[in-house]
Amino acid sequence: MTQRSLIEKRSIDYVPLAERHGKVWHLWPTWFMGDAHLATVATGFVGVAMGGNLAWMVIAVTIGSAFGTFFMAFHSTQGPQLGLPQMIQSRPQFGYVGALLVWGVALVTYVGFNAFNQVLAADTLDTLYHVDPRVTMPVIGALAALLAVFGYDWIHRTQQVLTAVLIAGLLVMTLAVARVHFSPAQLDLGDFRLVPFLTQLFAAAAYQISWSIYVSDYSRYLPRDVGVAASFWWTYLGAFIGGTWTMLVGTVAGAMFPKLELTPALKAAADAMLPGSGQPLLITSLFGLVTITTLNFYGASLTLLSVADSLKPIRATLAKRIVTIVACLVVACAIALTASRDFAHEFGEFLSILLYLFTPWTAINLVDFYVVRRGHYSVREIFNPHGLYGRWNWRGLVAYAVGFVSMIPFFSTGIYVGPVARALGGADLAMLVGLPVSTIVYLIACRSLDVESEIRRAAAADVGLEVDG
């Protein structure tokens, strides 16, 4: 985008310093709006749907969101420093080919979220206007994919405009909550239920961590000198405020109408708090659902191109980026059109699985960037199939495997409940185990790595990078 073209030309390739632009505060609206939509509302709906009361679910959402956003925001700071998409940065930890492991998980996440997003959007339009979901699902997906084709700058601009609209809507609904009279049971702090509390807490954490796989995709064009602290806090505050605020809308709606599905419950809650506000709130949230679907298609495209590049080195072009976006659109639409109507339960299960899959990766990626290699990587060697980082990096792969296996006894899903989780009445503590185990195993494995020698070789390999870029 040297001349700031209408359509972004770059994809998984390095963004030279000469093309860097934007302000670090742009990360705030991008991630506030990234969370201010119906899928986030659904995340706050999980605990009350399991029987948790409003008071404890508010606490669970807040703690979980604060915890998960912490990891996500640290990933965001990698973008300005490396000028690369998030997933391609996994090669130094897992190897040129070994990174396919986490990329496969990422693709499932992107497509899965977009299938859920399209179902939610269609349910919203069906609730409001009785439009056939089989028509609206592909239309919503196509609009989101089109914006993904235009790329980075247009995504940022759209998020900035919509942020103002969503803040106004959320403020109105927040003030209207004061008019609601909840039953004493919903506000009783003595009615603590461990399983709904932990499920809601880790659902919120998993939801925020799930952005980690592509958060630096939207910071990689920023100037390198924006600073780690600034990029961290602008991302953290945007995602935490947007995510927590929007999840709590779902929590309140679920507490008010526990027997309704998500979209009808949200409309009924809004109308009860402020008559006539249900329809505008749903429409406003629908905008956010379209743009987050865009972010997912954009990230899925970059990840799919990374997969293709690992199998056979390719030259990243606009045409290839468009083809991958269309491919992801087709798959997401197919899943959405065949999805079950039991959305709230399936979404909670999906978030649990995401948490298990991304916990080892986020630990390994962050500890490598901030502790082991301290941000010193070679861009050229990341794209070299026989280069400095190897085709398979046993350190990252072993740490991932050990971290994942260590969590299995703590799993608690509808498919499988581990022995420890069963002994705790179904409480899920897997993330609290996977993070430290993956970190410790990776640090031990890296003791045999000559980091200083590698850093010197990386610097030598990237001599003249800006001229070539």
pLDDT tens column, 190-235: 999 988 998 899 889 988 988 888 899 999 999 999 999 999 999 9
Range scoring the smallest mean pLDDT among 70-84, 275-289, 309-323, 334-348: 334-348
Contact 274, 172 (CB under 8 A): yes
Answer whether residue 423 is part of any domain.
Answer: no
Answer whether residue 271 is part of any domain.
Answer: yes
* Range 113-151 burial, b when 16+ CB lie within 10 A, else e: bbbbbbbbbbbbbebeeeeebeebbbebbeebbebbbbb
CB atoms within 10 A of CB 26: 20
CA distance 261 to 282: 14
**Angle made by CA atoms 231, 232, 234, in degrees to the nearest 5:** 65
Answer whether residue 382 is part of any domain.
Answer: no
CA distance 113 to 293: 8
Contact 39, 296 (CB under 8 A): no
Structure tokens at 299: 């990230």
Answer whether residue 429 is part of any domain.
Answer: no
Element (H, E) at 102: helix 100-129
Q: pLDDT tens, 313-352? A: 888 889 999 999 999 999 999 988 887 666 545 665 776 7
Tokens 């970059």 map to which residue? Answer: 302
As a whole number, the mean pLDDT across the chain is 89
Percent of all residues in the chain with a pLDDT value above 90, rounded to a whole number: 54
Compute the half-sphere exposure of residue 400: CA atoms within 13 Å on the CB side of its CA. Answer: 23
By three-state DSSP, how is residue 412 classified? strand
Is the Cα torsion angle 92, 95, 97, 98 positive or negative in sign?
A: negative
CA distance 337 to 115: 8
Tokens 């959007």 map to which residue? Answer: 121
Return the higher-pLDDT residue of 330 and 106.
330
Answer whether residue 439 is part of any domain.
Answer: no
Structure tokens at 432: 């609290």
**pLDDT confidence tier of residue 156, bands split at 50, 70 and 90:** very high
Answer whether residue 3 is part of any domain.
Answer: no
Element (H, E) at 48: helix 38-49
Answer whether residue 261 is part of any domain.
Answer: yes
CATH of the domain at 111: 1.10.4160.10
Q: Compute the average pLDDT of residues 402-429.
A: 89
Residue 3: pLDDT over 60:
no
Answer whether residue 422 is part of any domain.
Answer: no
Percent of all residues in the chain with a pLDDT value above 70, rounded to a whole number: 96
Beta bridge partners of 437: none
pLDDT value for 1: 42
Beta bridge partners of 412: 417
Question: Structurally, how many domains does the chain consist of?
Answer: 1
CA distance 298 to 218: 10
pLDDT value for 299: 92
Structure tokens at 348: 């909670």
Contact 316, 305 (CB under 8 A): yes
Residue 245: pLDDT over 90:
yes
The burial class, CB within 10 Å (0-12 / 13-18 / 19+), for 105 is buried
Domain extent, residue 155, equals 17-354
**420: Cβ–Cβ under 8 A, 6 or more apart, which residues?**
409, 410, 429
**pLDDT confidence tier of residue 2, bands split at 50, 70 and 90:** very low
pLDDT value for 345: 58
